[in-house]
Structure 1
Amino acid sequence: MENPIYVVTQSRDVSGYLPEHWQTYETINSLRNGRKKLRNNKPAMVVLCIGSDDDIHLGQEIARYVREGMANRDTRIVLLHDPAQQLDEVAWLEEFQINACLTADPARHQFNRSVLNRELDTFSYIENNYRQHDAETEMLVCITRFSRADENITTLLSTFAETLAKLCHAACHFEIYIEMESRYRVRNRDTSQKHLAEQMQAIVANGQLPACLSQAIAEQKPQINLLQDNGEIDALLARVETSVGSYLTFPIVVYNRVICLLFFLIPEAEMARVSMKQINIINKAAEQLTVLLERKQAESSLKKQYTRLKDTLLELKSTKQALAHNEKLASIGRMAAGIAHEINNPLSFVISNFTSMDSYLDNIIKLQEMQSELLTSIDIQQDQKATALKQHLAEFEEQAGIEFILEDIRAIVADSFNGLQRVKNIITDLSSFSHNYEGQKEKIDISVVLSDTLKMLRYDLADKVTVKQDIRFDKAFYSNAGLMEQVLINLIKNALQALVDAGTETPEIAIGAEESADGLKLTVRDNGPGMTEAVKAKIYDPFFTTKGVGEGTGLGLSVVYNIVQRLGGKIECESQLGQFTRFTLTFPLAQPEEE
């Protein structure tokens, strides 16, 4: 029993104390037994039947335990004493806080019944107020939890529905979700009411809602009405265990659209307990819930928009950097095309003339040899004129430094040729910016490409650096062998120059190739001086170099970047100052589509 009635007495027979057929009760005849029972249940009433001194002592101890030991002010304590037993009723009222003092006289049984029932009604009223207050508090707390909870809306609405069911003393309740026009889904977390939920689903399955539900959707406000006898939900009412007297329909509205209906069936016996205060609380709850759900949906929408905006900004930033670099390359390309056109023609003419110049030098040397022979012949004939000519030529040869000129002229020609060849190499690098074609792709072997590259660089590398290879890629892939060789040459030369300039004690270049998730991963690493972050940020900029004037063009890595982009690859640079620099190139393995 939720709130039992206890009769406290030492006597086995209490028929003379209580009205006949009054209420069901339990007897307490000892303090120990009484405390145990009182601890386990909150009693609605404790009747102290006093007929002896032992009853007085037991009654006082029980009353004191209820009021002080349990701090219970709600349980009704009624003193019912034998007329022959004289008691100080005022002392009992003040000290033990009993609620009524009655005389166990058969003539007063009707009056005693009335008083006892009134006290029970008082206890019920107090308990109902407590329950009502708890239900109201729980509902308001539930709404507040909406603003902080991370659960989805369905879970939150189920919790709210259960709380509201307690507030309005509902026999059963349902969540009816409006998934789309004329389509509804019924839900109830209480497994004991599964059969009722299935019946409700059958009622709304045809898309036609009962009037008690459609009215709530039309007005978008909670509806509390007497149940209409129109037969629309008779099949459901027939399966409810209690007699239903009214219903509550609570629409969940978000941005002027009903997304869910909370439907409650209130038993006829509980209708008197649903007051205007509850109706006002329900209406306020509806307003707060609408505001919170709209805010939650707005926050969700804002979060999604923020995520999309963040991704878009990152994409725009990446695109901006790529466009800026491409624009820079395009500008350099246009400039390079003009430079190449203006310089290439005279340069080709000058280079082609070196063959003739070499022939001219042979003739000059031959002429000088013939002059020497002539002078020798003249000297033999002892001709006076020849003697003067010989003297004149000897003086001229000494004055003009012919011997020095003949020794130095080939060195001058060699230096000029090297200088012109350097100009030609610069123009070749510049021209790579103006070429938009990728070059014909074919199936190549990276180990063969690397071997050919190292053969071309064998005189440059010589004994200056140790080259280590770690080739763990034995597949053929589609690329341009010539462009791949140019990339490797530039990277290896760049590493070699850094090692030589830094004077690294044991210079080493490590070249590796392996398959990764993105394709072929190619690495070139040196143990040189490394780079600062400021230098690393500019290494792909055309004409940027850390070398002195005349020692570097600043185009090597720019050419590498341009070629890698054309081949559909990616290039990354890692460097630690004073430790190493590593370039990682990634190329796709897929065969290009045939046009």
Structure 2
Amino acid sequence: MASLGELTAGIAHEIQNPLNFVNNFSDLNQELIDELEDEIEKGNLAEVKQIAASIKENEAKIQQHGRRADLIVKGMLQHSRANSGEKKETDLNSLAEEFLKLSYHGLRAKDKSFNANFKLDLDPTLPKVKVVASDIGRVILNLVNNAFYACADRSQSTLNGKASLVQDSHQENGYDPEVIVSSRQTPNGIELSVRDNGPGIPDSIKEKIFQPFYTTKPTGSGTGLGLSLSYDIIRAHGGKLKSFLKKGK
């Protein structure tokens, strides 16, 4: 019950922030519209144009924060729907390859300047396992997206210190971004790993990264639900999701 209370409080806090922005900018626009009508009556065209520009700018901010609230709600719905499918015999190697390429080409579709190397190191003798393929695929996609994001972050950090997929991923001298997805059979079961040579994550936040709404990304770039959802999916499959955080090289 304590964990549920913390999660509920987290949801309320995260949704309240963008909703506050939406409400504030909506109120401001109401005032600006009143001013706009007055200036129209006066025939002050220059002032009308200036107020209209302010309204347009506020509308863009309302859309931005509305979308963030929408992402948070969709993330929570994914939590509630996770692991509801049927477990079937699945080739994890094929699943890993499919979602690695899906992640890369998805990011390239959003930003043509994004570039990074990626490769597969898969155990060909890996047996099929009973999993909900769509859920495990979602986990792989989230982990790989994060890995590519880390590479892009390191690539352009020497320019302005901000995480972004906008800059070319080969801008840092001597740095060749790379994401590796590997699989292997161990005495304890099957291990699937996603590794990148990005900037890494400090040990000080290692225990926080699987908490709902915790994110290292800038505001608006992530909901902080991806790793939390992935953690729950893997746990529901009887597995473990661990982080081995080392400085990228």
TM-score category by the smaller chain?
A: 0.5 to 0.7
Counterpart check, 1:508 vs 2:154: no
Counterpart check, 1:566 vs 2:236: yes
1:334 CA displacement? 4.7
- Alignment counterpart, residue 499 of structure 1, candidates 145, 151, 171: 151
1:525 CA displacement? 0.3
Counterpart check, 1:464 vs 2:111: no
Counterpart check, 1:532 vs 2:192: no
Which residues of structure 2 form unaligned runs of 5+?
20-39, 156-171
1:527 CA displacement? 0.8
1:253-272 matches, cutoff 5 A:
none
Q: Partner of 1:420 in structure 2? A: 66
Q: Secondary structure at the residue paired with 1:575?
A: coil
CA distance in structure 2 between the aligned counterparts of 1:416 and 1:451, rounded to whole angstroms: 38
1:7-86 matches, cutoff 5 A:
none
- Alignment counterpart, residue 480 of structure 1, candidates 105, 109, 132: 132
| 1:426 partner letter | I
- Quick one: percent identity of the two aligned structures? 25
Which structure would you say has the larger Rg? Answer: 1
Cα gap change, 1:543 to 1:398, in 2 (>3 Å)? closer
* Larger relative contact order (Cα-Cα within 8 Å, sequence gap ≥ 6): 2
CA distance in structure 1 between the aligned counterparts of 2:84 and 2:10, rounded to whole angstroms: 18
CA distance in structure 2 between the aligned counterparts of 1:333 and 1:440, rounded to whole angstroms: 27
Cα gap change, 1:515 to 1:327, in 2 (>3 Å)? farther
1:537 CA displacement? 2.4
Which residues of structure 1 form unaligned runs of 5+?
1-325, 347-391, 581-595
Q: Secondary structure at the residue paired with 1:513?
A: strand
1:562 CA displacement? 1.1
1:456 CA displacement? 4.9
- Alignment counterpart, residue 401 of structure 1, candidates 28, 49, 67: 49
Q: Secondary structure at the residue paired with 1:529?
A: coil
RMSD: 3.7
Q: Partner of 2:248 in structure 1? A: 579
1:427 CA displacement? 1.6
The C-alpha deviation readout for 1:12-44, integer Å capped at 9, x for no partner, is: xxxxxxxxxxxxxxxxxxxxxxxxxxxxxxxxx
Scaled by the length of structure 1, the TM-score of the pair is 0.29
1:567 CA displacement? 1.7
Task: Specify which structure has the higher proportion of strand.
Answer: 1
1:440 CA displacement? 1.9
Scaled by the length of structure 2, the TM-score of the pair is 0.63
Q: Secondary structure at the residue paired with 1:515?
A: strand
Indicate if the aligned counterparts of 2:97 and 2:120 stay in contact, CA closer than 8 A: no
